[in-house]
Amino acid sequence: MTAFYRGAMTRFRTHEQQISTSVLVIGTGGSGLRAAIELAEHGVEVTAVGKRPRHDAHTALAAGGINAALGTMDVEDSWQQHAADTIKESYNLADPRTVEIVAKGAAEGISDLERYGMGFAREADGRISQRFFGAHTFRRTAFAGDYTGLEIQRSLVRRSEQLEIPILDTVYITDILTDDNRVFGAYGFDISDGTRYLIHADAVILAAGGHNRIWRRTSSRRDENTGDSFRLAVEAGARLRDPELVQFHPSGILEPENAAGTLVSEAARGEGGILRNALGERFMERYDPERMELSTRDRVALAAYTEIQDGRGTENGGVWLDVSHLPREIILKRLPRVYQTLMETQMLDITREPIEVAPTAHYSMGGVWVRSEDHSTEVDGLYAIGEASSGLHGANRLGGNSLIELLVFGRIVGQAAAKYSATLPAQTRSADAIANARGEVDRLLSADGPENVRALQRAIRDMMTDCAGVVRSEEGLQQGLARLDEIEARMENVGIHPDIAGFQDLAHAYDLKSSALAARATLEAALERRETRGCHNRSDYPDMDPAMQVNLVWSPETGVTREEIGPIPEEISELIREVSQEGKLVE
């Protein structure tokens, strides 16, 4: 490194901007922007920061749709039935109060999107179209083609710009700052030029996603869902709930390597796609002969995994998803994004050839422990929403619920944070907390060890895939913890090398810290959950255990503890029943 460039690095390290705001939102996807909008519309000062450009947040990748019991297609639908379907699909691990709040508030969430200019698909008479998704009793999933998440994100960005909400793109938050169990802001740096940010805030809303990027094959991009929310919350003093409950999507592509895990929307199966193994067998006949490819995510993913493990997979370790028997015009009209994705990534024409797919880590159904009413944590002034939080999904997420959760709790948490900020008589500061945050960035920037942070991230992904994938066991999870111990020891000798392209290497170092913490929480909770329930498959405990109908709460200090789940209100419980999948899209 030249003397000139060493000087440039020093200048970047010492430059620091200080910002003050009433509420800081970490994450600029759907949940973060919805909370920021709520605050701004009530005249509360808010700043939002995200490590990705706001237009390209993870929410934009969501395809299928968003749930609300509007009754536009089936007038007999109700919020109670929506809640019942959610709890049934969660394998009774969802928090009933959280479910009730989302189901009741869903219609208002849709109205908010309409107010922001969201372009929903509509019937000829102007009603919002709604379609079936798997495990729904009625048609309650609103949509915009197979670009629903992208349209939601565009609508929220547009509304944020109208309100002139300050949004900082490419800012990586390294620490939530606390004093005596109360937040007072956050610390971070700009990934592009290394500029430090010291942000003072009365309240912090954590909306930085989940942890599914810690598996080798995942639907998240390289810098998304690496467990940031988990680490930031835990280091601030919060706990995690159900980190072992991770939904594996049945159909992620295998090639090219830099796109491995990219989803083939389940609409492909919903429109008539067929799954076959390498022998040409339609293998879902063995696992769910009634519903076949329209079975639920957890079951289809397990079926594909079993075929691959038993030697009936493709040479690349996948299975075939075939839609080529469908009319070309149907594919281009109903599956435009799938068609475009495969043409762009593989030059594969899905109207002529099958798609090679395998299960891929897709969604964190557990997350930061929060109170159901307002998603506050046990740290005063700290809130968590979206995939960063827990409570709604249990052991299997009902398709279409993730997007409505963003809208409902984005509004509620925005209001709660505003109220909290207004009641503070004064805001304390901690020089020690700020010094520690600064010092850790300095320490990493000066680290010059032989270990490469990207290689260690890959080691974690390989370990989690080998030891805590679709199917788990006591032996495998113990091996995972032993391998994690070795990785964490190697993490003490990393080398960080910012370059002329920016400070991505420093960001990867923090991603690595987050991934290691999320991996440990997941492995330890998966060990404790000695049963098979929903997405969590234990080969050594193949049955569901009624004694395990509890949430598992994790922290570094206490390890895993059990938490009882509240009672289901009678008006919801009486509606819980098996739901036919005939004619429905899967999740």
| Cα–Cα distance measured from residue 144 to residue 127, given in angstroms and rounded to the nearest whole number | 13
Q: Which amino acid is at 487?
A: I
Instruction: Give CA–CA dist 411/547, Å, rounded.
Output: 35
462: CB partners within 8 A, 6+ apart: 216
Whether 429 is catalytic is no
Residue 573 carries which side chain, given as an amino acid letter?
S
Q: At what angle do helices 148-162 and 30-41 cross, to 10 degrees?
A: 30
CB-based burial label for 524 (10 Å; 0-12, 13-18, 19+):
buried
- Note the Cα 114 to chain centre separation in Å: 24
Which two three-digit tokens encode residue 498?
């910012």
Residue 413 sits at φ, ψ, to 5 deg, of -70, -35
Element (H, E) at 519: helix 504-528
Contact predicate 481/546, CB 8 Å: no
Interstrand relation of 183-190 and 196-206 (parallel, antiparallel or unpaired): antiparallel
- C-alpha atoms less than 13 angstroms from C-alpha of 66 in its C-beta half-sphere: 36
Which helix (H) or strand (E) element contains residue 464? helix 453-467
Q: What is the 3-state secondary structure (H, E, C) of 23-89?
A: EEEECCCHHHHHHHHHHHHCCCCEEEECCCCHHHCHHHHCCCCEECCCCCCCCCCCHHHHHHHHHHH
Structure tokens at 390: 């827990």
Cβ contact 402:363 at 8 Å? yes
CB of 301 within 8 A of CB of 293? no
d(CA 310, CA 217): 19
Residue 219, helix vs strand vs coil: coil
3-state helix, strand, coil in the chain (%, to 5): 40, 20, 40
Give the CA count within 13 Å in the CB-facing half-sphere of 209: 28
Tallying the residues shown for the chain, one arrives at 587
CA 370, 65, 167 angle in degrees (round to 5)? Answer: 60
Output the CA torsion 294→297→298→302 (10° steps). Answer: 70
3-state secondary structure 399-453: CCHHHHHHHHHHHHHHHHHHHHHHHCCCCCCCHHHHHHHHHHHHHHHCCECCEEH
Residue type, 391: G
User: Rounded distance, CA 256 to CA 397, Å?
Assistant: 28
What is the token pair recorded at 211?
């942890």
Calculate Rg over the CA atoms of the chain. Answer: 23
- Residue in 140, 216, 276, 297 annotated catalytic: 297
Q: Which positions are annotated as active-site residues?
A: 297
